[in-house]
Structure 1
Amino acid sequence: MYRIGSGIDFHQLTEGRDFWLGGVKIPHTKGALGHSDADVLLHAICDALLGALSLGDIGVHFPDTDEAYRGIDSKILLQKTMQLIRNEGYEVVNIDTSLCLQAPKIKPYVPVMQQTIAAIAGVTERDISIKATTTEKMGFVGREEGLVAYATVLLRKV
């Protein structure tokens, strides 16, 4: 039995914050604003995983009103989400993601992001797709006020 899930996450960009994406700290003049480390890519993946099994969303499991999650590394949130998926008897087949951001260019960081996510999800790097696009300077993404991540996952019953 297979299940498909999709996730999306948005975060504002602001100065004075580290920029975390796909579990990797990327040099940039701005970072995402959020209760955790605000890693939009990992948050979208968590939502896709949870959605595939109708387990709610990231806010249900890791609410931004809970001080336990303030500043938390989103890799930990992905690990906890993967445990929920495994507890339901499922495993990841593949994860496909798209990022919308004007800057920075992420191509040099994609391989390490794939390695990081694959290690947590229990798959190979080839099972993790990370694509990026700009919005051609349109909207809040184009003005570098924020960024968006989309994720689709395929799960298989073990």
Structure 2
Amino acid sequence: MKIRVGFGYDVHKLVPGRDLWLGGIKIEHTEGLLGHSDADVLIHAICDALLGAANMRDIGYHFPDTAHEYENIDSKILLRKTMALLRNAGYELGNIDATVAAERPKLNPHIPEMKRVLASVLEVDEDDISIKATTTEKLGFTGRQEGMAAYATVLIQRLA
């Protein structure tokens, strides 16, 4: 069995007047993330990690922000399509280890629901998904609450 590792990173700016979507769930907050889609940084980082592990380029290649069909799209759809690409290439997910960097809102209470939603979309066990939240101790753009960043590492395996 061949195993591969991928890493993904995404960042989006926080702005008023947008819903905050993280890990496939809507979280109450005074601002949301700006992007062509729903700007779910966690899902975007996971997609990039999955695609990278399979040597299939990146999320922007498969779902460009210049395509009208992806405007305001629910990132769970992009994640489902990404996993279908991997499965069609003979890969299955081993596990995900992800971290979201944000000062506010506090994300720890939302992590169990994020894991449930992502596991359902990916058709894997919740135990295969680790999500952590951290602050940057008020340093950098995340510390100034100008945006959020997410990092994801995945392990995939070729089944055939």
Give the TM-score band, short-chain normalised: over 0.9
One-letter code of the match for 1:59? G
How far apart, in 1, do the equivalents of 2:34 and 2:26 lie?
Answer: 14
For the residue of structure 1 that corresponds to 2:105, the secondary structure is coil
One-letter code of the match for 1:133? T
Partner of residue 136, structure 1: 137
Partner of residue 23, structure 1: 24
Partner of residue 56, structure 1: 57
How far apart, in 1, do the equivalents of 2:70 and 2:149 lie?
Answer: 21
Shift of 1:108: 1.2
Shift of 1:122: 2.1
One-letter code of the match for 1:88? A
Within a 5 Å distance, the mapping from 1:34-49 to structure 2 comes to 34-49=35-50
1:102 aligns with 2:103: yes
If the length of structure 2 is used for normalisation, what is the TM-score? 0.97
Identity within the alignment, %: 61
Partner of residue 5, structure 2: 4
Partner of residue 154, structure 1: 155
1:117 aligns with 2:126: no
Residue range with higher mean Cα deviation, 97-106 or 116-125? 116-125
Aligned residues between the structures: 158
Q: Which runs of 4+ in 1 moved over 4 A?
A: none
* Per-residue deviation, residues 21-70 of structure 1 (Å, max 9, x unmatched): 00000000000000000000000000000000110100000000000000
Shift of 1:157: 1.2
Partner of residue 65, structure 1: 66
Q: Give unpaired runs (5+ residues) of structure 2.
A: none
How far apart, in 2, do the equivalents of 1:120 and 1:86 lie?
Answer: 13
Shift of 1:121: 1.7
CA contact (8 A) 1:92 1:122 kept: no
Please tell me the root mean square deviation across aligned C-alpha atoms, in Å. 0.6
Q: Give unpaired runs (5+ residues) of structure 1.
A: none
How far apart, in 2, do the equivalents of 1:108 and 1:134 lie?
Answer: 15
For the residue of structure 1 that corresponds to 2:47, the secondary structure is helix
Shift of 1:77: 0.2
